[in-house]
């Protein structure tokens, strides 16, 4: 302190009033914190936080012909069932597609009870789900967040995510609900999707993010879906 006082010119010599020099710094710090809190309260939601009013469920090509050839097919069926049922509870529309159903069969029977008859599966030959018919549906949804699952990770799921992101959608890919015939293709697809801006998530992560709180009106119904027994063995981790 003695050195500091010896080197600091007097306020009188500088022509400054004492009160400016002696004003407590903590007052400025408190003011800054108050401003930060006010800005935080007014800030928009962080990217990645899901809102049921903004979210749509996309189920890509969970068809009978793939049952015996897709690695972890049962996981894709189970997660799709979870998300379709939770989507109904939370008021989220669903888009379901079928790749060349004349050759590859219809959507598996396990999902049939959860399909909306007002929005039946869309047949396609494009790899992406975003066909002209689906694009028209999306235009009337007023949604911009997609929860995406299905087959195959490196072809139809990948191209769907890229097309949605090109349209300004925020895409959440469920790693426990997408797969391919070969695990290597699945792994490469997930890396490429994340690098391209898609958000990798899981069904449980997404559902609890949609709920936000254990006090949510639909917490019990949705958490019961989350607690259901999963197929074994699990899909490979990232």
Residue 50: its H or E element? none
Give the Cα separation of 190 and 174 in Å (integer): 10
- Catalytic residue chosen out of the listed positions 60, 76, 156, 163: 156
Q: Which residues contact 225 (CB under 8 A, 6 or more apart)?
A: 82, 85, 86, 207
Catalytic residue among 60, 124, 163, 176: 124
DSSP string over 169-209: -EEEEEEEEEE-SSHHHHHHHHHHHHHHTPEEE-HHHHHHH
60 is catalytic: no
C-alpha span between 98 and 159 (Å, rounded): 15
209 among known catalytic residues: no
- What is the Cα gyration radius of the chain? 26
CA-to-CA distance for 233 and 206, rounded, in angstroms? 21
Catalytic residue among 61, 76, 163, 176: 61
Q: Tell me, yes or no, if 42 is annotated catalytic.
A: no
Q: Which active-site residues does the annotation give?
A: 61, 124, 156
């Amino acid at each position: 302190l003695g050195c500091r006082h010896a080197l600091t010119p007097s306020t009188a010599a500088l022509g400054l009033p004492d009160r400016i020099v002696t004003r407590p710094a903590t007052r400025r710090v408190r003011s800054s914190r108050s401003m930060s809190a006010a800005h935080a309260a007014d800030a928009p939601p962080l990217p990645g936080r899901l809102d049921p009013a903004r979210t749509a469920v996309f189920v890509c090509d969970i068809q009978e012909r793939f049952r015996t050839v897709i690695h972890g097919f049962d996981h894709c069926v189970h997660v799709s069932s979870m998300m379709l049922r939770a989507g109904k509870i939370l008021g989220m529309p669903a888009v379901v597609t079928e790749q060349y159903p004349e050759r590859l069969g219809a959507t598996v029977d396990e999902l049939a009870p959860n399909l909306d008859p007002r929005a039946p599966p869309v047949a396609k030959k494009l790899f992406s789900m975003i066909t002209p018919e689906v694009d028209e549906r999306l235009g009337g949804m007023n949604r911009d967040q997609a929860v995406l699952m299905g087959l195959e990770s490196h072809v139809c799921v990948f191209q769907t995510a890229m097309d949605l992101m090109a349209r300004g959608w925020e895409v959440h890919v469920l790693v426990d609900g997408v797969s391919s015939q070969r695990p290597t293709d699945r792994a490469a697809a997930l890396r490429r999707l994340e690098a391209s801006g898609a958000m990798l998530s899981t069904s449980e992560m997404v559902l609890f993010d949609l709920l936000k709180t254990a006090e949510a009106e639909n917490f019990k119904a949705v958490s019961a879906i989350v607690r259901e027994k999963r197929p074994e063995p699990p899909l490979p981790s990232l």
